[in-house]
Structure 1
Amino acid sequence: MNWLTDVNERARQRIEEISRLPVYRDRHLTLLTDLYQLTMMYGHFREGRHEERVVFDLFYRQNPCGNGYAITAGLEQVVWYLYNLRFSDADLAYLRSLNMFSDEFLQYLKNFTFHGDVYAIPEGTVVFPNEPLLRVEGPIVEVQLIESAILSFINHQSLIATKARRIVEAARTNDGHEDNPVIEMGLRRAQNVDASVFGARAAIIGGCVSTSNLMAAESYHLPVAGTQGHSWIQSFPSELEAFEAYASAFPDDTVLLVDTYDVLRSGVPNAIRVGLRLKEEGHTLKGIRIDSGDLAYLSKRARKMLDAAGLTETKIIASSDLDEYTIRDLVTQGAEIDSWGVGTNLITSIDCPALGCVYKLVAQEVNHVLEPRIKVSENPSKITNPGRKKVLRLYVDDHAVADLIALVDETYDPSEPLELFDPIHTYKRKVIQNYRVEELLVPVFQGGTLVYELPELPEIQARVEVQVEYFGSEIRRHLKPHGYHVDLSQPLWDLKQKLLHQWRGRRVAQSK
């Protein structure tokens, strides 16, 4: 068995393992696409062009939530989807019922599998606008079909991972340490089941330590967290009896919700009574949770009361419509909060509900040669970068200084000075020397064969922690972050100008 075969086998075993997870088991998503993907496929098939090779880039144009960067996520879903992409008999029967497609085309779809190449930036990587997060190459009908599904996967999870990262960093405002953990608690507010499970996964990638979502926890072997709701407290004759009953059921994992009636006059005093009984029996009151009111004031008072009673090990958990701004303010106000339960504002990315990834044709086969393609727009930000490209991250003294989008056949010698320039304001230039180059896009599928071994979730989360340290605090700040340099190589910039010049020439000729 040669090295590549061994890699392929490990990759296959890993995706088969993932396919058995509850969130994937017995699922079939081939028709998770828009109708116009099938109509375009059919049109290409009728014209005999369906085997022509094309190249598409998947990228986004603007960082979400006013952030200085994004965290890429969702590649696992993409890989699982492509690996299992087949038209079932039920799929074909439905397409036939639309009376839009010929029997010959439906027969072609019966034997359909993905034969293309996919290059992707690994999950958990810090990324920036206009960089290809995925580059997909293959027959046009295959590459066209998958557009909507892979956009959905990457858009959603990258958005939630980025939002989670903002919230996690806000919880570390004072010292940057990881002793102020964030718990994902958004299941009931997520837009649907998949948004809750994959959103929880993305939140863990962004830095959350646990989830309240049992399906997500089972699927991804995550720590699961939860206490009780106000209805539990209300269902007993008194708050104290509710606390006692819960502590009896979970003596080594008791967290008590103290704001059902009155945090300081009732909730905390009753929690202390229970905590002291647990202490006498050799247990510890793990924590109290405050879900309403002035969290800074209440947590400070509660901390004093707990400490005075000798319950110094009891933690204070806060919830109540938290986001990065509220958490950061509470931390800077000295709130005595040990961990944060964040739901709605995280799982929905409430202030930025869509990342806006797009999927654009950048090259097409003509007479067996791939020719670059460009999309032109009145909006300069929507003019695409043509050709087969790679993304290079440039480091000086182990600090990321710029990303360079370049054509795939370009080479760079780090021992030689490299001049970078702004692709819009080209007079803005700088020269770097003695730099290190990291190529971000890695092969995932080659000729339809999976060659990338998907990492475990803890590996992806650890990658985020390493990645963000390469970037300065001015890029990572939440309000008005400094813009990171994403430049085009000189050959790519020249190619783009050449195609724009040709387009202008054709437009002038057509107007005569």
Structure 2
Amino acid sequence: MSDVTTTDLYEVTMAMSYLREDMRAPATFSLFVRDLPPDRGFLVAAGLEAALDFLAGYRVRREDIQECADVLHRPVQELDPLLGLRFEGEVRAVPEGRLVFAGEPLLEVTAPLPQAQLVETYLLNQVCHQTVVASKAARCVLAAAGRPVVDFSLRRTHGPWAGLQAARLGALVGFAGTSNVSAAAALGIPASGTMAHSYIEAFPGEEEAFHAFARAHPGPVTFLVDTYDTEEGVRIAARVLADLRRGPGCAVRLDSGDLDTLSRRARATLDAAGLTDVRIVASGGLDEYSVDRLVRAGAPIDVYAVGTRVGVAADAPYLDAAYKLVAYDGRPVMKLSSAKVTAPGRKQVFRRPGRPDMIALAQEEAPDSAQPLLRTVMRGGRRTEPPDHWRDARERFREDLAGLPGPARRIRDPEPVRPERSLALEQLTASVRAGIRARLRPRQRVASAGTTVR
């Protein structure tokens, strides 16, 4: 499957019409989130690296033309104007890892109109999916309050590629590791894993299973203790660990039941055996809400492994995002439909210490002490700098998180930061709106005059 044809049909039909009408002037599209999902005080910008890889390699080939012609039931010659089309535009974007809020452009694309239109679907797909998962993972880091969090999501994500992205995004916001071997190898993320219940069941008993596992794996080991009776499993694990004397780094994992109560009993058992340095790992349907409850209750859990609910962002699996035309051929444009009004013109977002962000026009000067968030990352269809690493994004995330107001950090009922708009942007919006309405009035009067009542 080609990345070029991984798109919505109307992108192709619009591009064909633009080319037929010779509408090739520069167009700017802005990708932004209208409203944050429920229970979100912020979003973490993500997906930009995948988007830039896509744009840098974008080229319409003969096989892409054939696929589109087959789907449209049109002669392939009618799509020939698309052949060889590349992305040759500019991208200004918020770097990955930065916190963003409703209404702020995550990226803006400026390119000849057919090019800028054709890439819409893929950009929305990558930026929306990765931003929503990164934001969910970031909330788990907040909820854990300094305790390590590990990604266990691969088996439940919506495809292997989504699992790779989830592992990367977890690392980007501060996860300590991933169970995903491919992600660990490809991205340099620490690998983390234990054993399944099937492993325990394959042996006559838990003690035999634990000893066998330890023989195969020198160094610290983690034993899964809830296959049969959790408290007995902890006692058996404590005996084996005491015999092994593997030192710091060993752990027991709880994967079901009342994790608060079970972790307290496990801690008491381990401490009584002199194993105060053996950690307790918790897993099993966890997300930021359950982690927050356990941390607030004082459960003696050292590591949280999160999977399904985080890898698919279960409580908020999508963003109300849009990719809208804001300027064409030097003319600012906007949409006026109810509840989906857009702001015209190329934009910049300024982060102001101690104050809400300001959404402004791209040409405006930065207010005192303000930092522009959107930077030019592609020009002429080429990256302006080497690909970003998730470790660099993680540093940006940590810096932004440190400055986030407390109410926006809350796991329950957060209060999102609401950006302000500059006076120049407000004035341009009012001017463009008035111009559109002025153009519509004569047509409305003509239509009204031609109406016949029967």
Residue correspondence of structure 1 range 277-296 to structure 2 within 5 A: 277-279=243-245, 283=247, 286-296=250-260
Residue correspondence of structure 1 range 71-470 to structure 2 within 5 A: 71-98=44-71, 100=73, 106-172=79-145, 178=146, 180-264=147-231, 266-279=232-245, 283=247, 286-365=250-329, 370-379=330-339, 382-395=340-353, 399=354, 401-412=355-366, 414=368, 436-470=369-403
Are 2:424 and 1:481 equivalent residues in the alignment? Answer: no
Find the residue that maps to 1:66 and give its secondary structure.
coil
After TM superposition, give the deviation of residue 316 of structure 1 in Å: 0.2
Q: Distance in 2 between matches of 1:222 and 1:197?
A: 11
Q: Which residue of 1 aligns with 2:28?
A: 55
Task: Give deviations 1:380-400, integer Å, cap 9, x for gaps.
Answer: xx21010111111112xxx4x
Alignment check: 8 A CA contact 1:30 1:86 kept: yes
Q: Return 5+ residue gaps in structure 1 as ranges.
A: 1-26, 173-177, 415-435
Find the residue that maps to 2:204 and give its secondary structure.
coil
Q: Distance in 2 between matches of 1:484 and 1:99?
A: 45
Q: Distance in 2 between matches of 1:328 and 1:383?
A: 37
After TM superposition, give the deviation of residue 483 of structure 1 in Å: 3.7
Alignment check: 8 A CA contact 1:116 1:448 kept: yes
Q: Which residue of 1 aligns with 2:451?
A: none
Q: Which residue of 2 aligns with 1:425?
A: none
Q: Distance in 1 between matches of 2:164 and 2:311?
A: 10
Q: Return 5+ residue gaps in structure 2 as ranges.
A: 446-454
Q: Distance in 2 between matches of 1:186 and 1:501?
A: 50
CA gap 1:62/1:473 in 2 versus in 1, 3 angstroms: same
After TM superposition, give the deviation of residue 65 of structure 1 in Å: 4.3
CA gap 1:412/1:262 in 2 versus in 1, 3 angstroms: closer
Q: Distance in 2 between matches of 1:323 and 1:116?
A: 40
Find the residue that maps to 1:56 and give its secondary structure.
strand
Across the two proteins, how many residue pairs are aligned to each other? 445
Find the residue that maps to 1:288 and give its secondary structure.
strand
Find the residue that maps to 1:402 and give its secondary structure.
coil
Find the residue that maps to 1:138 and give its secondary structure.
strand
Find the residue that maps to 2:370 and give its secondary structure.
strand
CA gap 1:285/1:308 in 2 versus in 1, 3 angstroms: farther
Is the deviation greater in 478-487 or in 300-309? Answer: 478-487
Q: Distance in 2 between matches of 1:248 and 1:89?
A: 57
After TM superposition, give the deviation of residue 275 of structure 1 in Å: 0.2
After TM superposition, give the deviation of residue 64 of structure 1 in Å: 2.9
Alignment check: 8 A CA contact 2:256 2:283 kept: yes
Is the deviation greater in 191-200 or in 297-306? Answer: 191-200
Q: Which amino acid aligns with 2:25?
A: E
Q: Distance in 1 between matches of 2:422 and 2:165?
A: 36
Are 2:36 and 1:69 equivalent residues in the alignment? Answer: no
Q: Which amino acid aligns with 2:335?
A: K
Q: Distance in 2 between matches of 1:452 and 1:285?
A: 40
Task: Give deviations 1:396-428, integer Å, cap 9, x for gaps.
Answer: xxx4x12111112222452xxxxxxxxxxxxxx
Task: Give deviations 1:97-136, integer Å, cap 9, x for gaps.
Answer: 3455565554443322111010000000010011111010
Find the residue that maps to 2:352 and give its secondary structure.
strand
Task: Give deviations 1:158-181, integer Å, cap 9, x for gaps.
Answer: 101100111111110xxxxx3x11
Are 2:413 and 1:509 equivalent residues in the alignment? Answer: no
